[in-house]
Amino acid sequence: MASIYNDYGGVVVMKTALVFGGTRFFGVNLVNELLKKGFQVTVATRQKSTIPFGDEVKKLKVDRFDKQSVITAVQNSKWDIVFDQICYNAQDAEITIEALKGKVGKYVFTSTMSVYDYGVDMAEELFDPYTYEINPIPTDEISYQEGKRQAEAAFFQHASFPVVAVRIPIVLGEHDYTERLKLHIDKMKKQEQIYFPNLDVGMGFINQQEAGDFIAWTGTQDFAGPINACADGTISMGELMELIEKEIGKNAVLSKESTKDEHSPYGIEKTWTISTDKAKGLGYTFTNLYQWLPNLIKIIANEK
């Protein structure tokens, strides 16, 4: 840990954090929250793109998906907390489990609500990574859902350090590089067809600021294991389209048939929500979805 001196001559110990994948979308929010909390932050990337924090962070050049690259990059270093935004399968997890043994006090892995099948208020215990079978499935053959399940299982069964798996829903925000919400807005503007299997089913979301804040918060709390995070409130796909219609001033053109180009990326078949009782019980307060989603739609709809 790094030490600095305060105005009274006393030593203030700064906690150190390593972040894999903190240069875009809610990874940026995560790093900014850690800086606000007084962490000395190191951002680990391949350094093929700009790191948007200037001299506020240390920079570590590494290929997160190459074991020898990680081992070489982290030698002679230790961190209080490591935040991993870009782990997608058991192989990815095993790389850092081996490379960071004895070098980290706590590991926070960004997982997903996709580890759960469809259901309402899915609680953490409904997917158990401590007993889930780890299979050596080739990375190019594994689904996103199964990859995240395998990654959780590898961390919780093999890591020598405490691990937190933050299970989040789809993240929305102005800087969402997937542009999934923007796709719906653009299709409505252009009066292009879009397909939903069922407009009545509901889903939860989280905004990028809250995702970054929550992940940073988990690193400062004294617990380990899986934990859900989601804004309060559930919205049906029909209600989502109505919010967009209200902002755009046009009606959605709904397709009756599913095609690759017309199927909504939010086009789920059954209601899919998670419980945040565990996080709330630990003291975290979530925003309400309806407090920020209409304004986010407005901002994206009016982007030039």
What's this model's pTM, rounded to 2 decimal places?
0.93
223-228-231 Cα angle (round to 5): 125
Per-residue pLDDT reduced to its tens digit, 209-260: 999 999 999 999 999 999 999 999 999 999 999 999 999 999 999 999 999 8
Residue range(s) in the chain whose domain bears CATH number 3.90.25.10? 177-204+233-271+291-301
Does residue 9 register a pLDDT over 90? no
Sequence-distant (≥ 6) Cβ neighbours of residue 244 within 8 angstroms: 184, 185, 188, 252, 297, 301
- What SS3 state is found at 192? coil
Residue range(s) in the chain whose domain bears CATH number 3.40.50.720? 11-170+207-228
The C-alpha torsion from 20 through 22 and 27 to 28, rounded to 10°, is 160
pLDDT the model gives residue 74: 95
User: 2: buried, middle or exposed (CB in 10 Å: 19+, 13-18, 0-12)?
Assistant: exposed
Phi, psi of 44 (to 5 degrees): -100, 120
Cβ neighbours around 274 below 10 Å, total: 23
Distance CA 146, CA 148 (A): 5
State both tokens at 301.
């709809």
Per-residue pLDDT reduced to its tens digit, 28-57: 999 999 999 999 999 999 877 778 888 899
pLDDT the model gives residue 50: 79
pLDDT the model gives residue 11: 42
Closest CA to 66 of 26, 19, 20: 20
Per-residue pLDDT reduced to its tens digit, 270-291: 999 999 999 999 999 999 999 9
Per-residue pLDDT reduced to its tens digit, 50-78: 788 888 999 999 999 999 999 999 998 99
Class of domain 177-204+233-271+291-301: alpha beta
Distance CA 93, CA 152 (A): 8
Check the CA dihedral 149-154-155-157 and report its sign: positive
State both tokens at 91.
């192989």
CATH hierarchy code of domain 11-170+207-228: 3.40.50.720
pLDDT the model gives residue 73: 95
Closest CA to 42 of 29, 27, 31: 31
The two counts, helices (H) then strands (E), for the chain are 9, 17
